[in-house]
Amino acid sequence: MLRRIINMAENAAKRLKMEGSSSGGSVKIGTHNGHFHADEALAVYMLRLLPTYHGSSLIRTRDPALLETCHTVVDVGGEYEPSRNRYDHHQRTFTTTFPDRATKLSSAGLVYMHFGKAIIAQHLQKSEDSPEVGLLWKKLYESFIEALDAHDNGISSYDSEQLAAAGIEKRFSTGNFTLGAMVGRLNPNWNDPVSSDPVVAQADEDAKFYIASTRIGEEFSRDLAYYCNAWLPARTIVQDAYQNRFQHDPEGRVMVFSGLSVPWKDHLYTLEEQEAGESENGKKVLYVLYPEKPVPDAKWRIQCVPVSKDSFQSRKPLPEPWRGARDAQLDEVSGVPGGVFVHASGFIGGNKTFEGAKALAEKACAS
């Protein structure tokens, strides 16, 4: 099944290239009118990143006859058939998920599954078959697209029954600032004036959809650029630092970047998972050292590794007596000269030299 899904995605992308080279004009994308959602807004945006859809027109309708005139239809029509460029997920028989993920796809996930590699390859200027493209294809789905699939299909991030059983409640409102809610707020209000001319009314609604599609598309493009231009190049640097960690601590608990710090958390957790979540002698990385600036006399930071990527809890916070101390006071309580600060929560600190930051790490490990 997994191989079949991947083959379908690859075949759809190849067919699209052939169609784009011979179409000789703009193509039409179809989606539904009325209240719009994040999934079709992003699906339309992603398609328009590809050469075949440059300059494409959009038809928002539920009329089957009009949809039949479209080259590609997303989120409407009751049909998932890549050979015909039909990408709806509302039919009762639809159960498709992204490879190795459990969340049912929305139109965003469908379009991304079939054409995401082409989008990434275009950005990287590499072949769709390259390992980098495959890696980012999975990473972008997990970091961005899957949340939209879940939102559109009514799937919560956490099991509500388990949360209720555990007595866990939200401490404060997050303002509903999810990607889906962001797009939802761009829909017309219930009491906004609507033109009596149906053509004008539809044009007004479509204009709001274009704003929503561009807005969520900008967020996708930022993520695409980040993972291609920053996250991916950092991978090799983190791998090297991880392999060399025993040079700085006999148990491999301290990882050092000799240059400016890079995005390291994702890569570190992946490397640890590849080693069954632990280093060779059973110790995880606790602290990461890096210079504040890429200059010879830069100050150094010591940062605690969180228990998970988005957690505010550290695996081993810096010692409590150091927290909130600065300068001479920090020197006194830590016994390490050159102190700059330690954050009040103990998740990060600083020293004027690498040797000082390393000494802080050694003492923290032993505490």
pLDDT per residue over 285-313, tens digit each? 999 999 999 888 999 999 999 998 888 89
Residues 6+ apart with CB under 8 A from 310: none
Q: What is the pLDDT at residue 22?
A: 38
Q: Please say whether the beta carbons of 246 and 252 come within 8 A.
A: yes
Q: Compute CA distances 256 → 179, 239, 343, whole Å.
A: 35, 11, 20
C-alpha–C-alpha distance, residues 248 and 302, integer Å: 13
Written as six digits, the tokens of 281 are 């002698």
Mean pLDDT value across residues 119-127? 97
Highest mean pLDDT among 175-179, 267-271, 322-326: 322-326
* Rg for the chain, CA atoms, rounded: 25
Residue 254 has pLDDT above 60, yes or no: yes
Q: Are 140 and 248 in contact (CB under 8 A)?
A: no
Written as six digits, the tokens of 198 are 């149906």
CA 69 to chain centre: 34
H-type alpha helices, the chain: 2-22, 38-47, 64-68, 107-124, 131-140, 146-152, 160-166, 179-184, 198-226, 232-243, 265-274, 327-334, 354-366
pLDDT digits (tens, 9 = 90+) for 166-176: 988 888 887 77
Q: How does residue 259 score in pLDDT terms, banded at 50, 70 and 90?
A: confident
Distance CA 71, CA 66 (A): 11
Average of per-residue pLDDT across 11-15: 52
CB 47 within 8 A of CB 85: no
Instruction: Please report the pLDDT score of residue 4 as a whole number.
Output: 53
Structural domains in the chain, CATH included, are: 2-231 (3.90.1640), 247-366 (no CATH)
Q: Is the pTM of this model over 0.75?
A: yes
Location of structure tokens 């561009």: 214
DSSP 213: H
